Amino acid sequence: MWLTTLVSILYFGVAAYLFVHTAQSPAAATTPDIASGYFQACNCILFGLLGLCCVHWPAIASLFHGRSKDAGSPAGEKETVVDEGDEKQTCGDEGCKEGGEDDASPAPVAVVVDPKPAIKRQVTYLMNLKTFLTFIVVTHHTVCLFTGCLGNIQTMIMNPNDPANADPTGLYDGTVKPRTFYTGAMWFLLVNQGYFMAAFFLISGYFCPKSLDRKGFRAFVADKIVRLGGPLVLWSAAFRPLVTLFEQAYAGAPLTYEWSPGVCWFLLWLLNFSIAYAVVAQFTPKVKVGMPHPFVLLVIGMGLGGVFYAIKKAIGPWDYFGGMTMWTYGASMYIPFFAAGVLGGRNDWLKSVEEMK
């Protein structure tokens, strides 16, 4: 409880900083940057309110319940319940009466506790998949560092007529040819971009339905605020700014504090998607859908390819709005894959795949 409360309060502090920082944006700031700043501030307020309400809802509800009970009871009527061993007396203005066999009060219900908790099914291949994806994420970002023109390491383009690397793109020299590393690296990066983060959203969404059923709305959201929101706020508000300050000091640049989710953008939007699902699940029926045929998945994939292309052509400078790393992928892959994960988790698609002939 205290940890959820602490994380929620921290989000209010981050929201205050983002409001002030965005309001003081320089004149050169673009409209998407300003809108994104205010959006992220409101997003942090939402996290803080949800966290505090989920933890302290019993106390909040008791206030309203107490007021409605006082307002609904007749004036002057008092009732006292006296418990004497196995007998119960209810005393009011008209006297006391004993509760016995003719009493309409429900009999006590025995609660049976299973001493052996249910054993979670270990899905080894899914753990292996997550391990592989984690390796790919680290390798992907490492390769990214060597595909740029960084000093004289010449991993991007080798131009014998331009030793100073003044023309790294090679647009003005028809004899320039990309190096082997650059060609292979760009293929590796583009292939990864087409599946690895979407797969993480798919896996995360798969376990949301059963987690929500087991914990309930308040416990589910409070748990997400701590498990996802906690690392996110620590990195964005403390660790990432420290790295930036170190870089500025090393380069001799002016030291400025900069809040940034950075590589934790995935946690930010996974938290948003998880909370959105928990809210929607309270008002929608459970959908029972079997594992789609591979041909159906192929058709859906082709449709999402069209969505990707349309967003790529139309989104312009809004691709990083709200801390999302490219809405081109967010709208065409991350949201659909998370939704597919939720639908698959509700209907045990992985189990059906395991049992497939």
d(CA 167, CA 186): 19
The predicted structure's pLDDT at residue 302: 94
Write down the pLDDT at residue 145. Answer: 79
Residue 109's pLDDT band, with cuts at 50, 70 and 90, is: very low
pLDDT at residue number 174? 54
Q: What is the number of helices (H) and of strands (E) in the chain?
A: 14, 5
**Of 205, 214, 218, the residue nearest 270 (C-alpha):** 205
Q: How many CA atoms lie within 13 A of 282 on its CB side?
A: 10
Handedness of CA 157, 134, 8, 35 (dihedral sign): positive
Q: What is the pLDDT of residue 21?
A: 92
| Residue 37 clears pLDDT 60, i.e. is over it | yes
Amino acid at 143: V
4 in Cβ contact with 51 (< 8 Å): yes
How much is the average pLDDT of 315-320? 91
Q: For 234-272, how does the pLDDT look when each residue is reduced to its tens digit (9 = 90+)?
A: 999 999 999 999 988 988 889 999 888 988 999 999 999
| pLDDT score of 27 | 81
Highest average pLDDT, of 67-71, 170-174, 180-184, comes from: 180-184
Better pLDDT: 168 or 332: 332
Q: What global pTM score does this model have?
A: 0.78
pLDDT on residue 176:
53
What whole-number distance in Å separates Cα of residue 179 and Cα of residue 187?
13
**Assign residue 124 a region: left if phi > 0, alpha if psi is -120 to 50, beta otherwise?**
alpha
Q: How far apart are CA 178 and CA 157, in angstroms?
A: 5
Q: In this predicted structure, what is the pLDDT of residue 168? A: 56
The mean pLDDT of the chain is: 81
- The pLDDT of residue 112 is 43
Residue 48: pLDDT over 60: yes
The yes-or-no verdict on residue 324 having pLDDT over 90 is yes
Model pLDDT, residue 49: 94
- In this prediction, residue 192 has a pLDDT band, given cuts at 50, 70 and 90, of very high
Q: Could you tell me the pLDDT band of residue 158, with boundaries at 50, 70 and 90?
A: low
DSSP bridge partners of 144: none
Which residues on adjacent β-strands are paired with residue 80? 91
C-alpha 260: how far from chain center: 16
Residue with tokens 């660790």: 239
For residue 108, pLDDT beyond 80:
no
CA distance linking residue 91 with residue 218, whole number of Å: 37
| pLDDT on residue 118 | 56
